[in-house]
Amino acid sequence: MPVQRLATAPQPVPLGRETLPARRGQWARALTHLASLVPLALLIWDGAQGQLTVNPIQEITQRTGKTALALLVLSLACTPANRVLGLRVALLLRRPLGLYAFLYASLHLLTFFVLDYGLDVELIWGAVAEKRYVLAGLGAFVLLVPLALTSTRGWMRRLGRRWKPLHRLVYLAASLAVLHYVWLVKADIREPLLYGAAVAVLLGLRLPPVRRALASLRLALSAS
């Protein structure tokens, strides 16, 4: 007599350890998107309320530029945060932070070209030739363009081994952005120098001897 199998209701899948990082990553990405859009939302709100100071173009330029630099430095900090502190979730935030940095850098450049110089080619060319901070900022943006365009997994597959060397240019872009900021403010350079120090530290953490020392330290701490 054949044995009939009893139909059983599907059991809920328990929340295992492997699902927790995924959920943390989803929350971290959502908060990153939200936090990255807050400066833009505030800028739009202040513009609609007429609260962009007596020089709105300058205010927009400064706010978009500072936000772009801050997000760029945060994107650079994601890999060291994983290697030094073991925060694997930080790797999921590197790409969105970098793309938002590119978004604000684009708004920064458009404000300069369109609102400040009215797309006047002669005036823009004169500014690039005469003002070194403009040249440094433009150089940083030019370097960010291919990095933003090739940030997808598809481009990672297409470029293969060339992808990582290309994306190391982000450190040069960040250095030029800091230089742009230093030359722009002229007098009180404490804030841009803080950004410069952060970029220097993050770059130093990528040096092979430093990476090996940190890896040994992490192993020692985990074993103790």
62 to each of 55, 58, 81, 189, 215, how far by Cα in Å?
A: 11, 6, 28, 14, 39
What band does 62 get if pLDDT is binned at 50, 70 and 90? very high
Does the pLDDT at position 50 exceed 70? yes
Per-residue pLDDT at 224: 65
Per-residue pLDDT at 220: 72
Six-digit token string for 58: 């300058």
Q: Worst-scoring range by mean pLDDT, 66-75, 141-150, 165-174, 202-211?
A: 202-211
What band does 6 get if pLDDT is binned at 50, 70 and 90? very low
| Strand, coil or helix: 193 | helix
Selection from 15-19, 28-32, 216-220 with the highest mean pLDDT: 28-32
Per-residue pLDDT at 3: 45
pTM: 0.87
Asked whether 72 and 173 are in contact (CB, 8 A), the reply is yes
**So where are the chain's domains?**
26-207
8 to each of 13, 14, 36, 70, how far by Cα in Å?
A: 14, 17, 47, 55
Distance between CA atoms of 110 and 117, rounded to whole angstroms?
Answer: 10
Does the pLDDT at position 71 exceed 70? yes
- Contact partners, residue 173, CB within 8 Å, separation at least 6: 72, 140, 141, 143, 144, 147
Average per-residue pLDDT for the chain: 88
